[in-house]
Amino acid sequence: MGRLYLYIVLLSMTLDSPLPSAETKSMSRLSPAKRFIAILLLTSPVVPMLWAESGYASWYGGKFQGRKTASGEIFDTHQLTAAHKTLPFGSIVRVTNQENGKSVEVRINDRGPFVEGRIIDLSMAAAMEIGMLGSGVAPVEIEVLKRGPEDERVEGQDYSDSISIQVASFQDPNNAEDLLRRLRRKGFSSHMEMSSSGHHRVVILDVEEDELERTIEQLSDLGHSSVLVRRHF
């Protein structure tokens, strides 16, 4: 009732009162009804629009427990985290199992899954929350509740004194995923990052100083001679 009263007041203001000088030129040519709608848009509280995506979720754990994720964090399958191909690290996502309606909120801290048709890889704890531990794969909808910073580094994570190698950068995520799989088959601990410009970068994290030259030579032998060495201090 209060909101309806506000709309009536705004309508009377729109029809009878002069607009602020800064808006007069752009809005004075609008009809009264359109001016009313415009003022409602300007005065109504902004509600963030959630980005949503549907597809299949899987989960991972086991041999990945204790390993470093693409964000630099240590993977703990007992935490509510997930891997996504492009969302910035630190993003908070609600995942809903479309088979049973159960939902869980997870934080993106890794890259994946790299299987066609799958859109998110959940930790074991998250998979348990939405009842897909036994099936392994389930149809889900994901909604972004909070988008993480565009910088691929995770706040609070120590990146000092580390070396990474950027092997290549692609606009097409499929090309990045293809290279990622090929490098992993060759034994490289490769990951995919999303840059602020929207490019998908394939990188090898935490390269030891005494292994740097040999790693660069191995990549060159595979046809990747123009790599970028990144030193974090």
pLDDT at residue number 152: 53
d(CA 231, CA 225): 18
Of 96, 12, 10, nearest in space to 54 by CA: 96
Greater confidence (221 vs 12) lies with: 221
Q: Are 140 and 96 in contact (CB under 8 A)?
A: yes
Whether residue 204 is predicted with pLDDT greater than 90 in this model: the reply is no
d(CA 108, CA 153): 12
d(CA 230, CA 81): 27
Count the neighbouring beta carbons within 10 Å of the beta carbon of residue 161. 9
Domains and CATH numbers, the chain: 2-43 (no CATH), 52-146 (2.40.40.10), 162-232 (3.30.70.1070)
pLDDT at residue number 181: 87
Most confidently predicted of 10-14, 18-22, 121-125, 201-205: 121-125
Mean pLDDT, the chain, rounded, equals 77
pLDDT at residue number 227: 84
**Edge-first strand listing for the sheet containing 228-232:** 190-194, 200-204, 162-170, 228-232
Whether residue 49 is predicted with pLDDT greater than 90 in this model: the reply is no
Q: Are 86 and 48 in contact (CB under 8 A)?
A: no
What is the 8-class DSSP label of residue 10?
Answer: H
- Four-residue CA torsion sign, 146, 150, 155, 157: positive
- How do residues 20-44 score in pLDDT, each as one tens digit? 444 444 445 555 554 544 444 444 4
Report the relative pairing of strands 103-110 and 81-83 from DSSP bridges: parallel
